[in-house]
Structure 1
Amino acid sequence: MEFLADNALWIMLVILVTTTIAGMPLAISMITSSIFYLMLAGRDVGLAAENVLNGVFGNFVALAVPLFIFAANIMNAGKVSDRLLTFALAVVGRMPGGLAQVNIMTSLIFSGMSGSAISDAAGVGKVITGMMMKDGRYPRGFAGAMTATSSVVGPIFPPSIPMVFYALISSTSVGALFLGGVVPALLVCIVLAIAVMIMAKIRGFPVEEAIPWRSFPMVFIRAFPALLMPVILLGGIYSGAFTPTEAAAVSAFYALLLASFAYRVLGPREFYGVVLSTVKTTAIVTLILCGAFIFNYIITVERVPQAVFGIFDSMDLSVIGFLLLLNVLYLLMGCVLDVSTILLVVTPLFIPTASALGIDLHHLGIVLVFNMMIGLITPPYGILLFIIKALTGIPVAEMIRETWIFLAILIVILLVLTFVPALSLWLPRVAGML
């Protein structure tokens, strides 16, 4: 028994890895392996329940997650994407690679409502991908890769569910993280738009028939209520009118009013579907959070972060060296692990080291979230690629062939964000949040 107690941490990790590989959901794996640790280490198993209660129900910030999920589901069910697509088509459709430009713009707009890359790809992304493939206008692999890449903007531009999770584990400001993601998200969209223009000329992508400017006022009016949602969200946080959690409630309520009364597309049956989907997703997210809180308690008790700091300290790395090494590690993990695992299990190990090196944890959060979003389109895992395949039937292999150029662009932007913290911290500082 003494052997088991001395090696309880390693046994826990073996159980976690084994059960996850065997197909057990990550949340259940974390909870199960953590309870085994408490039993083997001779600790009170009730600590598991205590950490869950204190972490989930004692944290006001966590309430933002189901509210943002609810708002995104309403927007998807309410056919808001049709109006956003028409608006984007009127604005950028006449540019080279018009529909690809529309893809980028609608992802940016929708990201201001959902906070989730998967919601973006499954909602407006599915529609625009179909438009791009119609009549062979774009190669289907390119259409799928473009949708997956543009969806990455979702969790970078506020609101962002991954940033809420990061705030929970790092004790940073959700509002500062949200504002810190604005400039990086805009930078991604601008660089992708320029890349698409160049690719359109080289590959001869079609130019869309321009919507007459005289029709633009009506198109804008139809889309205006939906376009107002990110403005309300950011304006409320920026002005101090409400907290990020209150902003989530306002977003959900506004989305409900918009779909039910302004657009009149959300009836009782659709509303029931939205609530059911939100409850299911929230239950999954809450279970993951529960497992993470227990797991993080254990690694704290075992002083794992201090051991990690000791390893990096012995390497005598500079701040830039540490960030570059961390980026490489996260890019590699993104190839084989999902975002939840990296964010909630791995990230807490490095936060104390980053803090000790004097790295601003808000800057670190933006860089790591951006890095993890790249993992969503990185083979072989690339969950967004598989989601788009399920929605459109585009073979993953065809999308992977078209994804490499976009991956290179995103990695270059990641390095820029790493070396220039001001890109992430300027807006929060102007807003007085840092």
Structure 2
Amino acid sequence: MILVIFIGVLVALFLIGASIPWAIGLTSMIVMLIESGFNGNLFGTMVQKMVAGTNNFTLLAIPFFLLAAKLMNVGSITKKIFRLCNGLVGWIPGGLGHANIAASIIFAGMSGAAVADASGLGTIEVEAMANEGFDREFSAAVTAASSTVGPIIPPSINLVVFGVAGGVSISKLLIAGVIPGLLMGLTMMVMVYYFAIKRGYPRRKFPTLREFWELISDAFFPILTPVILIGGITIGIFTPTEAAAIAALYAFILTVIVYREITLKQFIVVIKETVRETCAIMIIVAASSLFGYLLIKTQIPNILLENLFVLTQNKYLILLLLNLFLLVIGCFMETNSAIMILTPIILPITTMLGIDPIQIGIIMILNLMIGLLTPPIGMCLYATARVARIKLETMIKAIIPWYIPLGVSLLIVTYVPIISLWLPSLIKL
């Protein structure tokens, strides 16, 4: 009965247009009223659980990563990265398409946010590809698809949220995303190569040694960012939260002091945007913390576990069902909300099956990233359609082939655990 109330009220509130924090919070309050009745401790318990969910040092990484990404988008750092990537892989058939993906991989090591990638790099990438003869729809589709690498390769805001929600080592989660992120990039490059041969897309000449040196020199300081972050976390010099602060400081030094591209007025605007987006995420975290507390209190995970094991106890079939479930959820729910709500439900089930929580974290984020390319939520679709100046309907049609490389990557990560677990197993964190 309580499971029906949990799901029914939440879905009903979503359908009538309630915002995600309100829907989660009201559902939690209704369940608490049914469970405990109206008493003087009701609202005190609600506030206590919500505040406890946000009172986590690790969550400080979120505003710092957001700030770093915004600073780099305002300056010329994204342009420098894109020019370097074009020099490195632009000579392969479909040159700028490969450069688009490579730039997203590098930028992923700075921002950890898919929409930031699609909005920041997207403007540069789509115009550059259109000017060299690529179809605008194809250019937009590559940009949107490659932006999903951002939350997989460290640093990743979504992996930080998963680690907090599931009590999983965030350092290991971040390191675990490196190989899956590179795998995603490789499969998408295969797709670019296929379209390039089929449609005769252009490529640039192989760069001379002098050209290569000039590109490296121009982008040297920006590309140090992922090296510093990933290297520092791997070696154990600093924690993920400290890494986020260092990323923001480094981005500030580059854009304000070294390149002198941001005025004080622009910096204040960036700070305001960062605060606004951080507040939105933290409100979701607070409401979801209360929701997660009630899930455990009412033993919903145990109920679902028992019902699932009645259907099947085959680990591989359960993983397939989990992927299908997460893909559907990703189409309708904001990523961080989905992580906070579903992690307390999913982790007990997968732990019983002997599946490492780190692998589940990567699987969950990858599924939800595909959701960013799928209507009706599809934030990366909207962002890329806007910067590419094409209709959303056109954008949706163009993105369909890109579900293939992302789906292949998802299946490999799901059924080949070593892909996400090898690096964390080598490093003592």
| TM-score, structure 2 as length reference | 0.95
1:23 and 1:74 mapped to 2: Cα distance? 33
Deviation at 1:342, TM superposition (A): 2.4
- Within the candidate set 78, 83, 92, 1:81 is matched to 78
- Within the candidate set 209, 225, 229, 1:233 is matched to 229
SS at structure 2 position matched to 1:358:
coil
Residue 54 of structure 2: aligned partner: 56
Residue 315 of structure 1: aligned partner: 311
Task: Answer whether contact 1:378 1:407 (CA < 8 A) is retained.
Answer: no
Range with bigger deviation, 256-265 or 282-291: 256-265
1:102 and 1:11 mapped to 2: Cα distance? 49
- Within the candidate set 394, 419, 423, 2:390 is matched to 394
Is there any run of 5+ residues in structure 1 with no aligned partner, and where? 1-6
Residue 115 of structure 2: aligned partner: 118
Residue 66 of structure 1: aligned partner: 63
Structure 1 position 326 matched with structure 2 position 317: no
Please provide the CA RMSD for this pair: 1.7
Identity of aligned residues (%): 35
Task: Answer whether contact 1:95 1:101 (CA < 8 A) is retained.
Answer: yes
Task: Answer whether contact 1:299 1:305 (CA < 8 A) is retained.
Answer: yes
- Within the candidate set 28, 40, 50, 1:34 is matched to 28
1:25 and 1:393 mapped to 2: Cα distance? 28
- Within the candidate set 132, 135, 146, 1:150 is matched to 146
Look up the equivalent residue of 1:89 and give its one-letter code: N
- Within the candidate set 6, 11, 17, 1:17 is matched to 11
1:50 and 1:376 mapped to 2: Cα distance? 32
- Within the candidate set 121, 128, 133, 1:131 is matched to 128
Range with bigger deviation, 30-39 or 285-294: 30-39
SS at structure 1 position matched to 2:237:
coil
Task: Answer whether contact 2:10 2:23 (CA < 8 A) is retained.
Answer: yes
Cα deviation digits, residues 278-314 of structure 1 (max 9, x gap): 0000010010001100111111111101101111222
Residue 281 of structure 2: aligned partner: 285
2:28 and 2:261 mapped to 1: Cα distance? 45
Is there any run of 5+ residues in structure 2 with no aligned partner, and where? none
- Going from structure 1 to structure 2, the CA distance change for 1:356 and 1:98 (only over 3 Å counts) comes to same
Deviation at 1:20, TM superposition (A): 2.3
Matched ranges for 1:235-384 at <5 A: 235-384=231-380
Look up the equivalent residue of 1:151 and give its one-letter code: S
Residue 4 of structure 1: aligned partner: none
Task: Answer whether contact 1:89 1:211 (CA < 8 A) is retained.
Answer: no
Cα deviation digits, residues 68-108 of structure 1 (max 9, x gap): 11111111112211111111121112221111111101101
Deviation at 1:24, TM superposition (A): 2.4
1:245 and 1:86 mapped to 2: Cα distance? 30
Deviation at 1:27, TM superposition (A): 1.3
| TM-score, structure 1 as length reference | 0.94
Task: Answer whether contact 1:141 1:395 (CA < 8 A) is retained.
Answer: no
Deviation at 1:337, TM superposition (A): 2.9
1:377 and 1:329 mapped to 2: Cα distance? 16
Task: Answer whether contact 1:305 1:350 (CA < 8 A) is retained.
Answer: yes
Range with bigger deviation, 294-303 or 338-347: 338-347
2:245 and 2:418 mapped to 1: Cα distance? 30
SS at structure 2 position matched to 1:253:
helix
Structure 1 position 91 matched with structure 2 position 65: no
Residue 165 of structure 1: aligned partner: 161
Task: Answer whether contact 2:21 2:283 (CA < 8 A) is retained.
Answer: yes
1:10 and 1:406 mapped to 2: Cα distance? 36
- State the aligned residue count: 425
